[in-house]
Amino acid sequence: MKKKLIAGNWKMNGSLAANETLVKAVVAGLPASLTCDVAVCVPAPYLAQVQTLCAGTGIDLGSQDVSAQASGAFTGEMSATMLKEFGVRYALVGHSERRQYHGETDEVVANKAKAALANGITPVVCIGETLAEREAGQTEVVVKRQLAAVIHTNGHCISEIVVAYEPVWAIGTGKTASPEQAQAVHAVLRAQLKAATDKADRIKILYGGSMNAANAKELLAQPDIDGGLIGGAALKAPDFLTIIRAAA
Ligand code: PGA
């Protein structure tokens, strides 16, 4: 059976002091034999700090973005080769907050995934519908379009990505998709991946959007839910640890 992945997305939260307290508490509470993969996707200024804190702990480091460009006049951006120097294993791409506030299109997201893959970083490709899209019955169309762009640009490398299904209406709202709602979308995504690669079964499809200590077990029990991308609950060590245990 493939290992589940529990990835924390700290978003724009943290400080040197708070990060140290959080990571040390998570490390102290990790199950002795960890049977799932664990990662934290941290703000860029803290990559070096968290790299050191996580060294030798079994917790992998992730960034919250990566540039599609290799280098040059792209003020504010960070390249995959730079991230690699800090031991970054995962890069979130296309988080709904990036799509919404930074105008990231499906094409930009696909190119970011490509830059990550070319440098040995696993892109965690975030997709998901808004409330208006769900209410208009467009969920499947939207998530398939978002994933299709990444498949189109990345060809056979697609088997190396992680997908995160994050319904926008569930992010930070406390409204989680029900396990059945989430599984239904994950099954659609799995079928789409199967049509693109014969290695689709090994691609992890995470659920994200108000996953927490209380609902994680039921969500993670769904056949096509291979882990979670956790925002708010990843900032509280006891909650993050409960989710890790639910996946282990
Ligand atoms: P949330 O965020 O768990 O706070 O809803 C998830 C995410 O945005 O990745």
Q: So what's the pLDDT on residue 232?
A: 97
Q: So what's the pLDDT on residue 9?
A: 98
Is the C-beta atom of 229 inside 6 A of ligand 1? yes
Is 166 annotated as catalytic? yes
DSSP code for 248: -
Expressed in percent and rounded to 5, the helix, strand and coil fractions of the chain are 50, 15, 35
Q: So what's the pLDDT on residue 80?
A: 98
State which amino acid sits at residue 140: E
> Ligand 1 centre from 199 Cα, in Å?
28
Q: So what's the pLDDT on residue 112?
A: 98
- Choosing from 97, 104, 166, 186, the catalytic residue is 166
Per-residue pLDDT of the chain (248 residues; tens, 9 = 90+): 789 999 999 999 999 999 999 999 999 999 998 999 999 999 999 999 999 999 999 999 999 999 999 999 999 999 999 999 999 999 999 999 999 999 999 999 999 999 999 999 999 999 999 999 999 999 999 999 999 999 999 999 999 999 999 999 999 898 889 999 999 999 999 999 999 999 999 999 999 999 999 999 999 999 999 999 999 999 999 999 999 999 98
Is the C-beta atom of 166 inside 6 A of ligand 1? yes
Q: So what's the pLDDT on residue 175?
A: 87
Name residue 204's beta-bridge partners. 162
3-state secondary structure of 235: helix
CB contact burial 219-242 (16+ within 10 A = b; e otherwise)? bbebebbbbbbbbbbbbebebbbb
Ligand 1 pocket test: pick from 92, 176, 210 the residue with the most ligand atoms within 8 Å of its Cβ: 210
Atom 7 in ligand 1: which residue has the minimum CA distance? 231
Q: So what's the pLDDT on residue 174?
A: 86
Q: 5-29+37-43+58-246, what's its fold?
A: TIM Barrel (3.20.20)
- Choosing from 95, 97, 104, 160, the catalytic residue is 95
Atom 9 in ligand 1: which residue has the minimum CA distance? 231
Q: So what's the pLDDT on residue 76?
A: 97
Q: So what's the pLDDT on residue 37?
A: 98
Q: What is the pTM of this model?
A: 0.97
Neighbours of 53 (CB within 10 A): 20
> Ligand 1 centre from 198 Cα, in Å?
30
